[in-house]
Structures are given as structure tokens and as C-alpha cells.
Amino acid sequence: MRIGIVFNPAAGRRERFKAIALKLLERCQEASLITGGLDYGENWFDHGDSLEIIEIHGLDFSERLKSCLDGFLSRKVDLIVGVGGDGFLAHIGAFIIEGHYTIPLLGICGGTANVGPLLGFNEDTLERLDLANMNYAKVSALAVESAWRRTFYAFNDIVIGDTFLGTIEGKMTNLSARAFVEDGIKLEKKPSEEITTADFALLKNGVSQPLPCFKTLQIVASPLLESRHYNGKAITGALCLAPFFPVCGAVSLLDTVIIDSKLESPLKAVSIQQLLFGEKDHIAIKGLSSYLVVDGNVCYYIGGEISISCLPEAVSTARLRN
């Protein structure tokens, strides 16, 4: 078995990378291991370790990661191991989707939040990794598009807002999306309450949906990966209907910024409006004046409209067998 291993050089938990690299060597002794150069893998292993190193090329992170993943493909790997957070694994997932590849992905937690479905292992469960006894499952994604922009793929969530969760000096905090996109810096910021314009509208298959009576402070869209989880749980609102219909995703309009590192116990009720959609549905959100954040990755400023659709069974993931 040939395994390609790539680390996120800017991950929030890099201090654990050497320990993760050691465990991978211990659990994958029967496999041929290939990794990226520099902080994409090489620097986390001891120089005496027997790995093939792929030289990294490119002017920015996206190009360098692609050069590593292309190297894996040219060497015909059977499995890609990604060590990082939700955003890093989403980059690898997008590479697999856009290339129409079928290589399974094994994600190991090493980022800021580590809550998405592509992350099947952490440092502790890695002790039980058994390459001969793995469970492989297909994970769906949401595709989000905007005019003249590339398509992004969300496995955990799409968020409309002007902050995102990041790490500064080992601490998770709210970071400015604008500062990150325009200047490439991490700057702490309080989430804004202005994310829409007077043209704000939510449409499903071209039909306008009723907007909430409250001011929308955050918009979140997510694939519903385990809809049966909501069966009989009326407290989840519209999500409890998901098991009974061909639903693959939901959009939520909220009067509270939920994705916030400074969360405190809410002093008031949190209002939410939910819209379910299926594989053949098309969602459009107009009148936006904020940033697109996909699985924790800041993508771009939205000065208008985005569209969202489902991509069922987009990526194969490797997990422990129950």
C-alpha cells in the first residue's frame, strides 16, 4: 500500500505534528510512505525515517499544496492522509472533487476547530489505526459559487460574516476576514452585525422565501450528513423533517453570531430560520455585504449574490471500523 501524507504548514496545532508523524510511522510500517517537502511533511519526520519526499513548488499555499498532491497522484498512492483542520482537509477534498479522483482521504485533527466530517482521527485514536481493517464512507459536500469566482466546497459549513475562527499564540479567537484576505495577517476582531444590504433575499429554485422578522447577523449553510440523527427531535426545528424527505442540506438565518470564539451564555432567546433543500435544489442568497468563509477558509468578499447546491457522496473518507 502506498500512502501520501501531507501536513498543513500553517495549522493551529503544529506543536503536535512530530508526535503525529511518529504515530503514523508506527501504525503504517507495512506501507510505502510519501510526504511533502519542508513543513508539508518532511520537517515533522526524523531524517533517518524511510520516506519518499516530494519537492514542493509554487508561489502561494494553494499552488504548493497542489504540487504535493499532484506528486501523490503521479506515484499512484492508495490513500491520502491530511493532518490539519477542517479548512485544510477541505482544500484536499476540493482537489479530489475537481480532479474526479476516487482516492480515499484520511483526516487527522491538527487545526483550530477540528469538527468536520473529513477528520476521522485525532492523536489518541491514531493509536488504533489499522490499515487492513478500515471503514470507508462517502461524504457529501455543498458547492458554493459566485459570478467570476471559482467554486468552493463545504463539508462542514458555509458561513457569511466578517470574521472566522483562527489561532494566535495557541489560542482560538475571532480573526478579521478582511485583514486576512487583503493583507495576509491575523488580526483579532469582533464580528460585525452588518452582513446584508437592502436587497437581501433568499431563494429556492428561483422562488423567494419569506425573510425573518429579525435582523440577520449570521448565515450558515451545512450539508446534512446524518439526517436520521434529527428523527423525532422536534427541538431542532425544520431539521427534524430531514429524515422523511430527500434532503441534503440546510440554510440558517440567525439573529445571533453563533460561530464566535467569545461565546457566552445567551441572555436572550436565539432566533433562527431554517430552509431545507435537496440534491436537485438550487439556493440563491442575494444582497450580501460580507465575506464567504468555507470550512473555516476565508474565500472572498461577497458584494452581491452566491448560489449553493448539493454534491452527494463527493469524497471517500477512511475511518476506524466500529
Please report how many Cα atoms fall inside a 13 Å half-sphere around the Cα of residue 261, on the Cβ side: 18
Which is nearest to 229 in space by CA: 244, 240, 220, 245?
A: 240
Helices (H), the chain: 17-27, 61-74, 86-98, 177-183
In this chain, the answer to whether the domains covering 2-132 and 145-313 adopt an identical fold is: no
Q: What is the CA radius of gyration of the chain?
A: 20
CA distances from residue 238 to 64, 164, 187, 253, 276 in whole angstroms, order as listed: 42, 26, 36, 13, 7
Give the whole-angstrom CA distance, residue 100 versus residue 304: 30
Q: What is the dihedral of CA 240, 87, 70, 120, to 10 degrees?
A: -60
3-state class (DSSP) for residue 206: coil
What pLDDT is stored for residue 223 in this prediction?
A: 95
Strand 171-176 versus strand 196-204 pairing type:
unpaired
Q: What is the pLDDT along the chain (322 residues), one digit of tens a residue?
A: 999 999 999 886 778 899 999 999 999 988 999 999 999 999 999 876 789 999 999 999 999 999 999 999 999 999 999 999 999 999 999 999 999 999 999 999 988 778 889 999 998 999 999 998 899 999 999 999 998 899 999 999 999 999 999 888 878 899 999 999 999 999 999 999 899 999 999 999 999 999 999 999 999 999 998 778 888 899 999 999 988 888 899 999 999 999 988 877 777 889 999 999 999 999 999 999 999 999 999 999 999 999 999 999 999 999 988 7
All structural domains of the chain with their residue ranges: 2-132, 145-313
Give the whole-angstrom CA distance, residue 273 versus residue 238: 9
What pLDDT is stored for residue 26 in this prediction?
A: 92
Give the whole-angstrom CA distance, residue 155 versus residue 141: 5
Query: pTM for the full model?
Result: 0.93
Q: Would you list the DSSP string of 232-269?
A: T-GGGGGGGGGGGTTEEEEEEEESS--S-TT----SSP
| Contact in structure between 105 and 274 (CB atoms under 8 Å) | no
Give the whole-angstrom CA distance, residue 124 versus residue 292: 33
Phi/psi for 205 (5° steps) reads 55, 40
What superfamily would CATH give domain 145-313? Probable inorganic polyphosphate/atp-NAD kinase; domain 2 (2.60.200.30)
What pLDDT is stored for residue 48 in this prediction?
A: 62
Considering the segment(s) 2-132 as one domain, its CATH architecture is 3-Layer(aba) Sandwich (3.40)
Which is nearest to 177 in space by CA: 80, 302, 45?
A: 302
Give the whole-angstrom CA distance, residue 195 versus residue 289: 5
Please list the residues that pair with 149 across neighbouring strands. none
What pLDDT is stored for residue 126 in this prediction?
A: 92
